[in-house]
Structure 1
Amino acid sequence: METIEFHSVLPQVFAGRGDIVSDVWRKDVSFDKGRLYLVEAESGKGKSTFCSYIMGYRHDYSGDVLMDGKNVRDIGIKEWTGIRRNNISYLFQELRLFPELTAFENVEIKNRLTGFKTRSDIERWFDMLGIADKMNTRVGQMSFGQQQRVAMMRALVQPFDFILADEPVSHLDEGNSAIMGDIMMTEARAQGAGVIVTSIGKHMALDYEKVYRL
């Protein structure tokens, strides 16, 4: 996948409003593989909605979202499964981890599907992120910041042309945020992937090539 495009997209909830000032809504915007983007938004401006449109979870909008020129409304369930497994990785804001599983099990459960990383790769990330001692701890017993690091690792155990990170460091200090950003960008560069980071305030300190305001 080389490009994700938004053409005159507007969430239905904003229909009829004349006060929408945005770099994305009602505009023509292209996200290209290999480039780094930041999408900033105030609360209620549609950041999570934006992510859901890219991932194909919602279609409650006017306009068109295209992937390599194909309208996402024309993508079937089976094709979406392949896209989410091989083309777009998504770090959810709400993480969506399994609290009853350990930190390692939450990462490994996805890696078993993809076979993308070795156990030593994953263990190295745990060590780099300062939570090697939490590998066998149930996620439900970890802090949200620790869980964010686990969710990032899970997002990286698959091939991808784009990675979408929705508020990935909201509960992390600058040191851990920087480490997580380095790990993500190392993986993205290795795959020549595009990176889209969203934020309503605190965000990874990266060299963004383009910043959009929702």
Structure 2
Amino acid sequence: MQIQLENLVPVPLRDKILQRSSDIWNRQLAFPPGSFIKIKAPSGTGKTTLVHYLYNIRTDYTGQVLVNGQPWSTYSRSSVATLRQEQISVIFQDLRVFEQLTALENIELKRVMNANPYCTAEKVNEMAAHLKVTHVLNQSGKTLSYGERQRVAIIRALVQPFQWLIMDEPFSHLDEENAQRAAALIAEECKVRKAGFILTDLDNDTRFAYDIHYNL
């Protein structure tokens, strides 16, 4: 799956962004498939906005986001839904864990989306054990700590097929041990699938062997 940016600029941040240097905004670039990409993004530079543009849930920008050579605007709703089910997965900064569902039900929403689920139920249990959230799988989302929600959201993103994983501060509420565990699981899953990821965060880190670094 090819992702390209053509002079992308968020309309709400336009004046602020054009006054500073960025490796992303108002540039022409392509993200090489299968690459591990880190985007360091200081507060207020549009980190979450970029994630929303890449996942096509906001369109308040000039320029274009091209997916497989076509602008998001040319895709039908059903085509966008298919891409989200089969080629692109996301971990939002606000996690979007449904509080009325159990942790396991939140994960299963993604796992059973396809007629032939990518991951088995056993694989889900393995991921939960690796990230130390087995004990909360049957608890409702509203009872989970933010760190538990973050780990559940990571598992949910990994149980579907994808060629690109987009992550917005995926370890912000994890201690270093749990962050390292989560990073190792993400790297393993991406390598097995020959998939790439785009990770936005505020700071530098050494949790992954990044192929490319950008400053937003």
Normalised TM-score (structure 1): 0.95
The Cα RMSD (Å) is 1.4
For the Cα contact (< 8 Å) 2:13–2:46, is it kept in 1? no
Q: Could you tell me how far 1:72 is from its partner in structure 2?
A: 1.4
For the Cα contact (< 8 Å) 1:169–1:204, is it kept in 2? no
Structure 1: distance between partners of 2:84 and 2:108: 17
Q: Could you tell me how far 1:78 is from its partner in structure 2?
A: 0.9
- In the TM superposition, what are the counterparts of 1:93-108 in structure 2 within 5 Å? 93-108=93-108
Structure 2: distance between partners of 1:42 and 1:74: 32
1:117 corresponds to: 119
Structure 1: distance between partners of 2:196 and 2:140: 32
For the Cα contact (< 8 Å) 1:7–1:29, is it kept in 2? yes
- Which runs of 5 or more residues in structure 2 are unaligned? none
Work out the percentage of aligned pairs sharing the same amino acid: 33
For the Cα contact (< 8 Å) 2:103–2:136, is it kept in 1? yes
Structure 1 residue matching 2:132: 3-state secondary structure: coil
Residue deviations 1:53-92, cap 9 Å, x none? 1111112111121112111121111110001000100111
1:15 corresponds to: 14
Residue deviations 1:142-192, cap 9 Å, x none? 110111000000001111110001110000011111111111111111111
Q: Could you tell me how far 1:101 is from its partner in structure 2?
A: 1.5
Q: Could you tell me how far 1:20 is from its partner in structure 2?
A: 2.5
For the Cα contact (< 8 Å) 2:40–2:204, is it kept in 1? no
Structure 1: distance between partners of 2:15 and 2:8: 13
Q: Could you tell me how far 1:16 is from its partner in structure 2?
A: 4.2
Task: State yes or no: 1:128 paired with 2:130.
Answer: yes
Alpha carbons of structure 1 residues 27 and 189: separation in structure 2 relative to 1, 3 Å? same
Structure 1: distance between partners of 2:194 and 2:89: 14
Q: Tell me whether 141-150 or 64-73 shows the greater mean CA deviation.
A: 64-73
Structure 2 residue matching 1:5: 3-state secondary structure: strand
- Which runs of 5 or more residues in structure 1 are unaligned? none
Amino acid across the alignment from 1:28: Q
How many residue pairs get aligned? The number is 213
Task: State yes or no: 1:138 paired with 2:140.
Answer: yes
Normalised TM-score (structure 2): 0.94
Structure 1: distance between partners of 2:73 and 2:101: 35
Q: Could you tell me how far 1:203 is from its partner in structure 2?
A: 5.3
